[in-house]
Amino acid sequence: MKLKVKNLLAVVAFAAVLFTGCKKDTFTEIDSICPLVLRTDPANGATGVPLDQIITATFNENMDPATINEVSFTVMGSVVKGTVSCSDSTAVFIPDQPLMANHTYTGKISTAVKDFMGNALQRDYIWTFSTGVVLAPMVISTDPYNMETGVRLDKVISATFTVPMNNLTMNDSNFILMQGTNRISGNVTYHDSTLYFVPNSALLPNLVYNATIKKNVKDLAETTLDNDYNWSFTTLLVTPPVIVTTDPMNNEVGVVLNKMISATFNMPMDPQSLTGSTFTLKQGSTNIPGTISYAGNTVYLNPNSNLLPGLVYSATITTNARNLAGIFMSANYTWTFTTGVLLAPTVLSTDPSNLQTAVVLDKTITATFSEDMNPLTFNNATFTLMQGLTPIAGTVSYSGRTASFNPTNTLMQGTTYTATITKGAKNLVGTSMANNYVWSFTTLTNLMVVSTDPLNSETGVAINKEISASLILIWIPPQ
């Protein structure tokens, strides 16, 4: 009756795989039937198995013999060595020595086996049998696996059994982790046929650890393991993360005030370890708040407001910063930089120039600056034109580096005007001019010199030259 149920389950699983498709490894995908283990000899759960048993697994199709070997077909319990072969749809494992009496074994066919179309077994096939009258529970897998190297220092150690186990036997009396002669303390839990061990502190780098599950653990039928289960693993060789560059560089001067501070590591980091507590920026003892972000191998701190000019800032990344393997920096990393001293913007030139005369009456007054200015700071309060104490109405604008004042009405002839740009005019980083900038000019009159003799800048003039100037009367419409 049990065999019929088992065959029915195999048919159901077979149908399910037909509808879901087969896993391909490096082969080109071909729609076909996936390999399935239909039966084994000994059968799963068999007891009283002969000590000279040849172990076989029969598939639903012919298999590729090149994929069925001592790695993909194993028998566990005590260490079992043997010869593996495949004929058509049947894989064969012939032990080198007779099986042990009154002992439980686990057979395993891994997903490395494939059919001739390159379709792989969809999941490891595992079954147990016993040469005695009792089927003992067994450990079928561990994490880390036996002899694994490069294990993370924050690793949770686990072991999975063939059957559900008695939770009360899953404790620190029956699970032991050793490093040499030192026992590692930790917390043992159990869930869904798997025992978990969480060490109380991180493992040490580049060391061999030995794990043991005592034979005293029991399944739900109160059956113990045949023997203690032992395995070992080696932790990774630690290479702590190192900061290779910073921006600004250490001791850099003249740093712009809107600078985003960054540090680049020699390896990928755990973004969750890069926070406002592990990456700080200070000016003296004052913490500078900002937003932390991470991309590539670089962490960024963007201050919430512009830095202050001419001051020394200190950035620090602490040893709480860790890489993806959980390895922390070996020491705090600190660097300093100095912000630039602010230079106030200046007026380079004006049109009309200071004290210029004979300025045309429809003149637009302009001032050109030493750097880009904030256009929003130019208005009728910061750029004015006066005739004595009387303000002149006009429109203020800004383009390029030049501010312009366009009088609403034409200027009066023969009149002196005073233009002023106040300290309210600022550059793009908010720096004001050091002082108000003031200049004056005079408009033309209706009497104008049109020629002189000698000409302006003429040379070789006779000693007895009579000097003359020709004037012209210009009609200027009344205002």
Whole-angstrom distance, CA of residue 400 vs CA of residue 373: 8
Collapsed DSSP state (helix, strand, coil) of residue 336: strand
Whole-angstrom Cα distance, residue 143 to residue 220?
Answer: 23
Confidence at residue 31, expressed as pLDDT on a 0 to 100 scale = 46
The model's confidence at residue 27, banded by pLDDT at 50, 70 and 90, is very low
Indicate whether 8 and 123 sit together in one domain. Answer: yes
Name the band, by pLDDT with cuts 50, 70 and 90, for residue 134: confident
Residue 144 inside a domain? The answer is: yes
Q: Does residue 354 fall inside a structural domain? A: yes
Helix (H, G, I), strand (E, B) or coil at 16: helix
Structural domain contains residue 151: yes
Q: Are residues 332 and 263 in the same domain?
A: yes
Residue 460 domain flag: no
At a CB cut-off of 8 Å and minimum separation 6, what does 216 contact?
169, 173, 174, 224, 225
Greater pLDDT, 266 or 8: 266
Of 355, 106, 321, 143, the C-alpha closest to 233 is: 143
Per the structure block, which two tokens stand in for 46? Answer: 């068999």
319, pLDDT greater than 50 = yes
Bond preceding residue 137 cis, omega within 30 of 0:
no
What average pLDDT does range 272-295 have in this prediction?
96
**Least reliable range by pLDDT among 278-282, 329-333, 345-349, 451-455:** 451-455
Intra-chain end-to-end CA distance of the chain, in Å: 121
Query: What letter represents residue 170's amino acid?
Result: M
Enter the DSSP assignment of 431: P
186-191 sheet: strands from edge to edge: 139-143, 157-161, 194-199, 186-191
The last residue of one of the domains, among 67, 101, 130, is 130
The residue among 274 and 3 whose pLDDT is bigger is: 274
Which sign, positive or negative, has the C-alpha torsion 136, 140, 142, 145? positive
Three-class SS state of 440: strand
What does the alpha-carbon distance between residue 190 and residue 4 come to, in Å, rounded to a whole number?
Answer: 33
Chain position carrying tokens 């383009």: 399
Longest dimension (CA), the chain: 145
* 264 plus 306 within the same structural domain: yes
Q: What is the mean pLDDT of residues 404-424?
A: 96
Average pLDDT across the chain, whole number: 89
**Residue 368 to residue 377: CA distance in whole angstroms:** 15
Token output for 310 = 């001419």
Q: Which residues contact 16 (CB under 8 A, 6 or more apart)?
A: none
pLDDT digits (tens, 9 = 90+) for 189-222: 999 999 999 999 989 888 999 999 999 999 998 9
* CA–CA gap between residue 290 and residue 13 (Å, rounded): 56
pLDDT tens-digit map of 98-109: 999 999 999 999
E-assigned strands of 340-411?
A: 347-351, 356-359, 365-369, 383-387, 390-391, 394-399, 402-407
- Beta strand ranges found along 30-72 (DSSP E): 37-41, 55-59
Tally of domains within the chain:
4
Last residue of a domain, one of 211, 235, 259: 235
Domain that holds residue 287: 243-339
Confidence of residue 429 (pLDDT cuts 50, 70, 90): confident
408 pLDDT above the threshold of 50: yes
Q: Is residue 22 domain-shared with residue 113, that is, in the same domain? A: yes
Are residues 372 and 257 located together in one domain of the fold?
A: no
For residues 72 and 124, membership in a common domain is answered with yes
- 367, with CB counted inside 10 A (0-12, 13-18, 19+), is buried
Residue 348 has pLDDT above 90, yes or no: yes
User: Is 14 among the domain residues?
Assistant: yes
Q: How far apart are CA 32 and CA 117, in angstroms?
A: 8
pLDDT at 30 over 60: no
Residue 167 placed within a domain: yes
Q: How far is Cα 35 from Cα 54, in angstroms, rounded to an integer?
A: 22
What would the pLDDT profile of 108-126 be if each residue is shown by its tens digit? 999 999 999 999 999 999 9
pLDDT at 2 (0 to 100): 35
Q: pLDDT-based confidence at 447, cuts 50/70/90?
A: low
Q: Do 18 and 33 form a contact (C-beta atoms < 8 A)?
A: yes
Residue 427, domain CATH? 2.60.40.1220
List own/partner pairs for 388-396 with CB under 8 A and 24 or more apart: 392/417
Say whether pTM exceeds 0.75: no
Other residues' Cβ atoms within 10 Å of the Cβ of residue 159:
23
pLDDT average, residue stretch 18-46: 71
- Are 327 and 396 part of one and the same domain? no
Q: Do 44 and 119 sit in the same domain of this protein? A: yes
240-272, pLDDT tens digit by residue? 899 999 999 999 998 988 899 999 999 999 999
Of the pLDDT bands very low, low, confident and very high (cuts 50, 70, 90), residue 393 is very high
Contact (Cβ atoms closer than 8 angstroms) between residue 188 and residue 175: yes
**Is pLDDT at 325 greater than 90 in this prediction?**
no
Residue type, 65: P
How many Å apart are CA 150 and CA 392, to the nearest integer?
81
Q: How confident is the model at residue 86 (pLDDT cuts 50, 70, 90)?
A: very high
pLDDT at 28 over 70: no
Residues 155 and 108 in one domain: no
Overall average pLDDT of the 47-51 stretch: 95
Q: Which residues pair with 126 in a beta bridge?
A: 108
With CA atoms as reference, report the closest residue to 95 among 105, 86, 82: 82
Check residue 381 and give its pLDDT. 97
Whether residue 475 is predicted with pLDDT greater than 50 in this model: the reply is yes
Indicate if the alpha-carbon torsion angle 446, 451, 452, 456 is positive or negative.
Answer: positive
Q: Name the helix (H) or strand (E) containing 329.
A: none
Domain boundary among the residues 130, 155, 172 is at: 130
Owner of token pair 């990774």: 236
Provide the percentage of residues in the chain whose pLDDT is more than 90.
73
Same domain, 329 and 352: no
Helices within 438-477 (DSSP H only) = none
Q: How far apart are CA 66 and CA 388, in angstroms?
A: 105
Continuous segment of H or E residues that includes residue 233: strand 229-235
Amino acid, single-letter form, for residue 453: D
- Burial degree of 470 (CB within 10 A; 0-12, 13-18, 19+): exposed
Distance of CA 95 to the CA centre of its chain: 51
Comparing CA positions, the residue from 386, 308, 361, 301 lying closest to residue 335 is 301
Instruction: For residue 471, tell me if it sits in a domain.
Output: no
Same domain, 270 and 327: yes
Same domain as 387, residue 332 = no
- Whether 21 has a pLDDT exceeding 60, the answer reads no
In a domain, 465, yes or no: no
Residue 183 pLDDT > 90, yes or no? yes
CATH number at residue 251: 2.60.40.3710
Confidence category of residue 431, pLDDT binned at 50, 70, 90: confident
pLDDT at position 450 is: 64
